[in-house]
Structure 1
Amino acid sequence: MKKPTNNTFTPKEALQKLEHFCAYQERCHEEVIAKLYSLKMTPDEIESIVVQLIEGNFLNETRFACSFARGKHRIKSWGKIRITNELKARNISSTNITLALKEITSEEYFETFENLAERCWNNLSESDTLKKRKKFCDYMLRRGFESNLVYEKVKELEEN
């Protein structure tokens, strides 16, 4: 596809470009709309292109949310709270967020939590117990794990 010389795209060219954009990686509606604005499309053209992308199954917010949750949990070891907050920041509906969190089995979730907690605790070279506890808890909470899990785990680790 040739790039237009005056840096504007016809709706057809923009649609093709966005089909590739969505086929490469799952996208949320917000990302697609931002991309279309960057291509200098009008609001009417944007609406039309988004509808075409949804009809062509290039854009599916449920699929995006599920893929996002799986990936962030498995690859970045994020907890459910962080995943939920990140999806909310992308204006994903609470229904889709609930479906996305079901993608993570409780066994997988707790296994990730345990592995991350052990690794974090063992890597902290803090001699002051209170400082070590605080650093551990802050890290695990930042990762998006539930506070009750984190505080139970820190007690368990201190005893060992």
Structure 2
Amino acid sequence: MITEIFPDYMNFVRLYEKDGTFKKSSVLNELNNSFHIVNHLGHSSSEYNMGIKINDVDSLTNSGPFLLYSQGCSPGAFDKNDSIGEHLVKNPFGAFAVVMNSRYGWYSPGSTNGPSQYFDYEFFDAIYNEEIKALGKIHQDAKHDLVDQTNLYSIMRWCYFSLKLAG
């Protein structure tokens, strides 16, 4: 599980739809509390991510930017006009960097072990277990760790090429 990677000193806020805690107001409140890392597993589009829309990103007021990793579909579709990923990195109160899919993110219903989850896991493994410091190298390492699976599973190949770093 992804939380096993993070150091003990880290604090977490978990927002889950099933618990009724994942709401637009809760997401905006937590983003404005200046969290440094945001890890999102859920639905998205080029204009919608983490339960918020582009105009919500423009209303952020946090005191420090954050790193956002999202497994959702298409928030990093930078070929679309003004994707939410683009707004997040261009906004001074948004993300200093995002890792997002330019197309579909893939999950397994009822599980946290879908194809996109493996890339998410390897990304944070590169930071906390391998202690890689540069974001580009972290992103490359996460993909490299799974490159052999791209020949075996077409969905893993899809994830490999869809996942983008911006910021």
TM-score normalised over the length of structure 1? 0.30
Which of the pair has more CA radius of gyration?
Answer: 1
* Bigger proportion of residues as strand: 2
TM-score norm. by structure 2 comes to: 0.29
